[in-house]
């Protein structure tokens, strides 16, 4: 009896991290313990794991990628595509737009994989970062940037955090270029989320 | 029995060798003067990266952090040093992905008297299918970081048993509070997005990303009773993480902590490029998006409220063509219809709004 109780105790505890209860089950008459263990495992479900990249996000698909080195710290700080014209920039942004992950891609991930920012979103961040860097370094791309950010914000089935980042850039660029912006055209929850970064 | 002079020296050494685990002879790996202890099973490379991350945090002037972060973390001043203190009050031990909790747990005291006994947090089981080891594309899920201490403490509390863990290279650690701060780090923490190949893992942007996760996990060491561990909520219907246990119903939970610290560090980063800041912005927008500010009424709640009106309208329609049958309730059918439309649209049905949770810790470390 003592060893049985001990076994149940150990099994319940292990469920905390390795899902022991799910794997081995518990004897009848002990459902409460099992559900506790499951709950703990779910709560702790905290494993904050990553998934090996599965998306197709790659902003280097067009023009040649080039590493930039910060002379002060001596490390590679970003990899920005080597763009020479507005046409090349537009081609790049079209590629980025096509490759941005959709909502359904998130729904296909493992529960553990979404505890922190999933890789498919991080990869989108890198691609959007390259666009932002190019616009920042080359004012000639700003107007094309406005068109890109507008499409990105309005993309149906898009991920809100990505759309909010695009909306914040759209608003900033529109203000800078004195272009009218019909705010109501963009979803309220996207605008609300973008408010976190609008004053940066 | 005669023992040689040299033998006398050997005996105590042998006794010591048999009584102590093998790792007792290896040097403890610590960070920041012993505030953080890193288990022997954590690969040396990961240990060095974590050490550099903490050094970065401590030595970085926080020039852009706003009052919201200071208030959230209850700090008198906002600096790298005060942030580091906040974090190390909640994180103390770091074990590796290969750490085997199964063989490391032990019961220190059965029948232990826990604070807030019987007052447990609500723990929801995700409606998604977790823990298969792969995602739907078949890729292997790699652990990023887990607050094991909070989960083990809660498991012990449910069993009225004070639990301890044996950590390689550290020894026995008793979980008297989630604030004992036991984190598990995995390879996922040290991975980089595929399209960032060529970017160094120790770049400030990569460091800031990892620190944000560390702060998120540190928050899981807070709370008491119903707020113990700041456990996540299941994201509601309509949310992009719908069904996953990847949201917070508190305004001061792990996702807010992760978002605001990542934001402050990114904004204060002098060597980050525009591209890197942009990528970090998306990370903290993703975190902000997981805070459920207001829980909308469920479809069942809406249906429950709408059902009587629907029935009423059905009756009115049924007798509309019978002039002899006039019901008081059918005198203003358009008004009834509008009332029903409003209910279906959720007008006047306020959901529960997110609030700050009590972050005072349970137990003592």
DSSP structure string for A171-188: HHHHHHTT----GGGS-H
* A106 in contact with chain B, both atoms CB, cutoff 8 A: yes
Pairwise CB contact (< 8 Å): B199 & A36: no
pLDDT tens-digit series, residues B249-301? 999 999 999 999 999 999 999 999 999 999 999 999 999 999 999 877 777 77
Within 8 A of A122 by CB-CB distance, chain B residues are 193, 209, 279, 282-283
Residue of B nearest to A76 (CA): B199
Asked whether the beta carbons of residue A76 and residue B200 sit closer than 8 angstroms, the reply is yes
| DSSP class of A100 | S
Per-position DSSP letters for B103-120, written without gaps between them: HHEEEEEET---TTTT--
Determine what percent of chain B is predicted with pLDDT higher than 70: 85
Cα–Cα distance between B296 and B301 in angstroms, integer?
A: 10
A139-168 residues touching B, CB cutoff 8 A:
159-162, 164-165, 168
- Residue A188, chain B, CB below 8 Å: the answer is no
* Binary contact (B289, A161; C-beta < 8 A): yes
Record: contact A160-B289, CB cut-off 8 A: yes
Cα dist from A65 to A68, A74, A78, A94, B195, whole Å: 10, 19, 10, 16, 10
Split at pLDDT 50, 70, 90, the class of A5 is: low
Question: Is A33:A26 a contact under the CB 8 Å cutoff?
Answer: yes
Give the SS3 label for residue B247. Answer: strand
> Rounded mean pLDDT of chain B?
85
Cross-strand bridge partners of residue B95: B184
pTM: 0.77
Q: Note whether B151 contacts A16, CB cutoff 8 Å.
A: yes
Confidence of residue B84 (pLDDT cuts 50, 70, 90): very high
- Contact check, Cβ <8 Å, B163/A18: no
Which residue, among B124, B187, B141, B125, has the nearest Cα to A109 in the 3D structure? B141
Q: Are A134 and A121 in contact (CB under 8 A)?
A: no
- Closest listed residue to residue A155, CA positions, set A143, A141, A170: A170
ipTM of the complex: 0.78
**pLDDT category of residue A180 using cuts at 50, 70 and 90:** very high
* A interface test, pick of B200, B208, B248, B285 with most A CB neighbours within 10 Å: B285
Please indicate whether residue B320 or residue A21 has the higher confidence score (pLDDT): B320
H helical segments located in chain B: 5-19, 44-59, 67-72, 80-88, 101-104, 148-158, 204-219, 254-268, 274-288, 299-318, 333-344
């Amino acid at each position: 009896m003592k060893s049985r109780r001990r076994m149940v105790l150990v099994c319940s505890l292990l469920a905390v991290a390795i899902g022991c209860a799910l794997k081995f089950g518990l004897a009848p008459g002990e459902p409460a313990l099992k559900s506790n263990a499951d709950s703990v495992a779910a709560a702790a479900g905290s494993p904050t794991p990553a998934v090996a990249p599965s998306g197709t996000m790659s902003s280097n698909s067009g023009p040649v990628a080039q590493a930039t080195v910060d002379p002060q710290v001596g490390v590679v700080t970003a990899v920005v595509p080597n763009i020479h014209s507005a046409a090349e920039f537009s081609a790049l942004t079209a590629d980025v737009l096509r490759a941005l992950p959709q909502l359904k891609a998130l729904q296909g991930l493992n529960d553990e994989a979404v505890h922190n920012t999933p890789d498919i979103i991080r990869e989108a961040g890198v691609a959007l970062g390259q666009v932002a860097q190019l616009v920042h370094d080359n004012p000639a791309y700003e107007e094309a940037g406005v068109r890109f950010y507008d499409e990105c914000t309005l993309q149906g089935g898009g991920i809100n955090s990505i759309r909010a980042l695009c909306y914040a850039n759209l608003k900033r660029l529109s203000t800078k270029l004195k272009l009218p912006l019909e705010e109501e055209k963009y979803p309220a929850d996207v605008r609300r989320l973008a408010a976190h970064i609008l004053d940066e | 029995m005669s023992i040689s002079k040299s033998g006398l020296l050997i005996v105590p050494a042998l006794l010591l060798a048999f009584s102590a685990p093998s790792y007792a002879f290896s040097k403890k790996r610590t960070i920041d003067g012993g505030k953080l202890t890193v288990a022997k099973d954590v690969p040396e490379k990961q240990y060095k990266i974590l050490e550099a991350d903490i050094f970065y945090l401590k030595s970085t002037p926080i020039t852009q952090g706003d009052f919201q972060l200071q208030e959230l973390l209850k700090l008198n001043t906002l600096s790298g040093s005060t942030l580091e203190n906040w974090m190390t009050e909640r994180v103390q031990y770091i074990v590796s992905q290969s750490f085997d909790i199964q063989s490391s747990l032990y019961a220190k005291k059965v029948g232990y008297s826990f604070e807030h006994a019987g007052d447990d947090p609500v723990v929801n089981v995700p409606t998604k299918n977790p823990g298969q080891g792969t995602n739907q594309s078949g890729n292997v899920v790699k652990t990023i970081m887990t607050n094991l201490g909070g989960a083990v403490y809660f498991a012990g509390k449910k069993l009225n048993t004070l639990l301890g863990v044996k950590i390689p290279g550290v020894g026995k650690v008793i979980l008297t509070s989630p604030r004992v701060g036991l984190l598990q780090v995995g390879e996922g923490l040290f991975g980089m997005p595929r399209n960032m190949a060529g970017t160094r893992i120790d770049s400030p942007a990569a460091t800031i990303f990892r620190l944000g996760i560390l702060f998120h996990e540190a928050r899981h060491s807070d709370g008491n009773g119903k707020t113990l561990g700041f456990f996540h909520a299941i994201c509601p219907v309509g949310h992009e993480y719908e069904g996953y246990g990847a949201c917070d119903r508190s305004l001061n939970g792990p996702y807010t902590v992760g978002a605001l610290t990542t934001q402050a560090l990114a904004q204060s980063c002098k060597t980050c490029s525009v591209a890197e800041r942009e990528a970090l912005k998306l990370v903290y927008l993703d975190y902000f998006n997981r805070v459920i500010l207001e829980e909308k009424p469920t479809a069942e709640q809406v249906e429950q409220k709408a059902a009587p009106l629907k029935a009423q309208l059905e009756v009115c329609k049924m007798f509309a063509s019978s002039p002899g049958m006039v019901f008081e309730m059918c005198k203003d059918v358009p008004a009834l219809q509008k009332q029903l439309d409003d209910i279906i649209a959720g007008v006047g049905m306020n959901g529960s709004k997110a609030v700050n949770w009590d972050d005072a810790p349970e137990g003592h470390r």
